Structure 1
Amino acid sequence: KRRRVDEEDTAETSFEQATRHPTFWYHDGSIVLHVEETLFRVHQSFLSTHSEVFADMLAVPQPTGEEELEGCHIARLHGDQAADWEKLYLDTFQPVQSNTRKIMNFLPGVLRLATKYRFRAFRKKAIAGFTSLFPSDLPSENSSKWRPAFAIEMIRTAREINCLEVLPYAYLCVTDALKDHSDIYNLEQLPWMDKTVALSGMIGVAQKQAQHMFPFVKATWHSPPAASLSTPPAACAVCST
């Protein structure tokens, strides 16, 4: 059921109650982004230059009577996370260099915003980092590099931003840590669709291993005929041949 407008306004944090970001509150900024309970005072020129969505939005004259703070229009960004915007600006003005763990921490948030607001250059850079962490060709010496919890987060992010080429390696990182195939059902953060795909892959790998790595197992083992299940093993005609 859709909430009433007045209920939405009550649930939202007013800009008077929100906190100014300690780093990304530029005194010469020309627009205030209100994200969750945080205010970012940034530059319209930066947003319109790099984001197609903001370029279109800021090209439209703002109506009179809109919320303003220190002469800057306030843009409420519904559904965004303040931490994601912080990471996007940090990655832009204080980029992480040669630190894989920090890159991993930045990727999901930057990718979400870059995809949603069409920061094309940012998305291209983030996708390159994403695919380098989850390659489509698995190096022989690198079997399962990332923890399942992080791999699951990346699977959800990949679905959200439509970067599906990273999924096979991410599935491998998740399934390699399982002791039994059925354990995949206990991964609450992994969507059911991905559980199904991952389980299908696990079964496929097991079948290929039986076919190509251990063919003698299939050649020497067989299920006894159904009729023999009620008789002693010695009565199995197949085994006696």
Structure 2
Amino acid sequence: MTDSATGQILQEVEGLWFPADLVILQAGTRIFRVFTTILKEKSPIFADMFAIPQPSDSDVEKINGVPVVKMPDDPDELEFFLKAIFDSDYFMPPPAMSHINIIIGVLRLAHKYDVSFLRRRALQHLCTVYCTRLEDYRDVGLSSSYAINSSIEAHLKTIQISVEVGALWMLPHAYYSVFHFGLQGVLAANAWKCLGESERAMCLRLFSHKMQILPTAVIISLLSMGTDTPSFCTTRARCNQVRLSTIQDRSWDDDDNFLNIWDEDNWTELKESGLCSTCLEEAKAAHEEKLRDFWNTLPTIFDLPDWATLEEMRSVALA
């Protein structure tokens, strides 16, 4: 090709010289006119699809001369996915904010059409909420890259997509989050109907399992009264009375989040009520041990691999 003004030979830059090859993707009543070259570069599935010999022009549906390909995908999700591919500012990685529906839509189609960078990016967003470590769980409200709004729908959708794309490391935290909405809230959620039978069973499992284990473990750890006098405690009777009074005065709801049920203000209240520093530290240590024991058992409750295995899966997926 020659520059008409200067007569110089122009060089086409490989990878940045796109043919004018357009296609219209149709999902439901929504249509998207996009470049096939970019789709083929980002997705080996699209590359294979467009490599298939096409019927003669007379047999191909067209709109304004552009061939139409019918897509089986949800129109909203296809729109999110295509915007993420063609608009570099639309779906930025964390800590940029996004929306749960966009994240799940992009993840589902990025997984389906093998667009690895978008699959990884969507998982990064979800991982700012769904943790594999207790320390991260406690900080999740400070680091989330999207507004989950304590929504039961968001948790159930996350469970569905995690199973669908094999992101199993998010399931223990997601299943546990479902519990706090109560059984009636879970069963009434729209997303509940979309879960598979196995996922529904796992959601329900925690109600019986956790109800038996966590309240007792938390109460015991806060009481922390052994048969032996604690080391250096010279006011054991008073300390025990403070513990008992604290538990008796506390309201315990069935759907309490026991991993966050006791904070620094509660420990300060115990101290101000007369619990000695030795007993306070012992109670804190016992309480922390119970919480870690429960966190470590979460994957096994749902028939999942241990946290170490799940964290390895997470590392591979996000690499």
Shift in Å at residue 211 of structure 1?
5.9
Cα distance in 2 for partners of 1:202, 1:194 equals 14
Which letter does structure 1 place at the counterpart of 2:159?
A: I
Question: Where in structure 2 are there 5+ consecutive unaligned residues?
Answer: 1-19, 142-147, 224-319
Cα distance in 1 for partners of 2:41, 2:120 equals 16
Which letter does structure 2 place at the counterpart of 1:203?
A: S
Q: 2:168 aligns with which of 164, 169, 181?
A: 164
Say whether residues 1:196 and 2:201 are aligned partners: yes
More displaced 10-residue stretch of structure 1: 33-42 or 198-207: 198-207
CA RMSD of aligned residues (A): 2.7
Matches within 5 A, 1:133-172: 133-138=129-134, 139-142=137-140, 146-172=150-176
Query: Normalising to structure 2: TM-score of the pair?
Result: 0.51
Cα distance in 2 for partners of 1:137, 1:145 equals 21
Which letter does structure 2 place at the counterpart of 1:73?
A: P
| Structure with the higher fraction of residues in strand conformation | 1
Matches within 5 A, 1:71-82: 71-78=65-72, 80-82=73-75
Secondary structure of the corresponding residue to residue 34 of structure 1 = strand
Cα distance in 2 for partners of 1:108, 1:140 equals 24
- The ranges of structure 1 where at least 4 consecutive aligned residues each deviate by more than 6 angstroms after the TM superposition are none
Equivalent residue, structure 1, for 2:79: 86
Aligned 8 A contact 1:96 1:103 in 2? no
Cα distance in 2 for partners of 1:145, 1:69 equals 41
Cα distance in 2 for partners of 1:199, 1:206 equals 11
Alignment identity in percent? 22
Which whole-Å deviations, capped at 9, do the CAs of 1:81-111 have from their partners, x for residues lacking one? 22112212333313245453x3323111111
Which letter does structure 2 place at the counterpart of 1:71?
A: G
The alpha-carbon distance between structure 1 residues 39 and 187, as it changes in their structure 2 partners (threshold 3 A), is closer
Equivalent residue, structure 1, for 2:33: 41
Which letter does structure 2 place at the counterpart of 1:76?
A: K
Equivalent residue, structure 1, for 2:112: 116
Aligned 8 A contact 2:153 2:189 in 1? no
Shift in Å at residue 74 of structure 1?
1.3
Aligned 8 A contact 1:108 1:157 in 2? yes
Cα distance in 1 for partners of 2:180, 2:110 equals 31
Shift in Å at residue 210 of structure 1?
5.6
The alpha-carbon distance between structure 1 residues 58 and 186, as it changes in their structure 2 partners (threshold 3 A), is closer
Aligned 8 A contact 2:128 2:140 in 1? no
Question: Where in structure 1 are there 5+ consecutive unaligned residues?
Answer: 1-27, 217-241
Q: 1:213 aligns with which of 194, 199, 218?
A: 218
Q: 1:51 aligns with which of 38, 43, 46?
A: 43
Which whole-Å deviations, capped at 9, do the CAs of 1:132-184 have from their partners, x for residues lacking one? 22122242355897321221122222233332221221122211122xx5765
Cα distance in 2 for partners of 1:59, 1:46 equals 14
Cα distance in 2 for partners of 1:125, 1:29 equals 28
